[in-house]
């Protein structure tokens, strides 16, 4: 069981890293679009047509493609008002409950976004100015959300097989 979990964690790590790299490339594209728009607007009095649409698409992709890597490294924002909930058996139970809720919420959001992607495909939904089909972008975002949910599931399994102990969260575990 432990060997299968190790191989699954490695696969999840590679998948998460792939989505993070795609998010980085989209961020690079966003920088290029913004630079072209600013230079065109201020030096040539001709802004980039559809820049607002491209920025919206890029921002959505950056946010959702970052989810699997963030969930894998447990890089959520944490407010430690009561630190006892992060140690020992209480921390272990708290981590299980938190991960279960995370999986449930991510799965529900992924399901809703998938429905939107299917509807956008069926209706041939396009963006306003550039007529970019919405379904491929929303479909890849759906994949990223489900990958994040699966990443949380793998983290939950790794916590469940070590009762009372939390995995080391120093981000040095093979990533």
pLDDT tens-digit series, residues 2-59: 788 888 889 999 999 999 999 999 999 999 999 999 999 999 999 999 999 999 999 9
Please provide the size of the chain in residues. 175
pLDDT surpasses 50 at 89? yes
46, HSE (Cβ side, Cα atoms, 13 Å): 1
What local confidence, expressed as pLDDT, does residue 175 receive?
45
Confidence band, pLDDT 50/70/90 cuts, at residue 162: confident
Q: Is the pTM of this model over 0.75?
A: yes
What local confidence, expressed as pLDDT, does residue 73 receive?
84
The average pLDDT across 57-71 equals: 94
pLDDT tens-digit series, residues 134-155: 999 999 999 999 999 999 999 8
What local confidence, expressed as pLDDT, does residue 172 receive?
45
On the 0-12 / 13-18 / 19+ scale of CB atoms within 10 A, 82 is exposed
What local confidence, expressed as pLDDT, does residue 75 receive?
74
What local confidence, expressed as pLDDT, does residue 164 receive?
72
pLDDT surpasses 70 at 169? no
Answer yes or no: are the C-beta atoms of 160 and 96 closer than 8 Å. Answer: yes
- 113, 116, 93: which is closest to 105 by C-alpha? 113
What local confidence, expressed as pLDDT, does residue 85 receive?
64
């Amino acid at each position: 069981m432990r060997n299968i979990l190790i191989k699954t964690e490695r696969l999840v790590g590679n998948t998460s890293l792939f989505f993070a790299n795609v998010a980085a490339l989209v961020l690079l594209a966003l920088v290029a679009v913004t630079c072209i728009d600013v230079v065109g607007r201020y030096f040539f009095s001709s802004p980039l047509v559809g820049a607002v649409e491209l920025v919206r698409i890029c921002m959505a992709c950056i946010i959702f493609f970052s989810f699997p890597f963030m969930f894998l490294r447990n890089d959520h924002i944490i407010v430690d008002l009561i630190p006892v909930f992060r140690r020992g058996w209480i921390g272990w139970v708290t981590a299980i409950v938190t991960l279960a809720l995370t999986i449930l919420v991510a799965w529900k959001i992924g399901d809703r976004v998938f429905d939107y992607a299917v509807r956008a495909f069926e209706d041939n939904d396009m963006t306003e100015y550039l007529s970019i089909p919405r379904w491929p972008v929303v479909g890849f975002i759906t994949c990223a959300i489900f990958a994040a949910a699966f990443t949380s599931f793998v983290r939950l399994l790794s916590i469940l097989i070590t009762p009372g102990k939390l995995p080391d969260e120093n981000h040095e575990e093979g990533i």
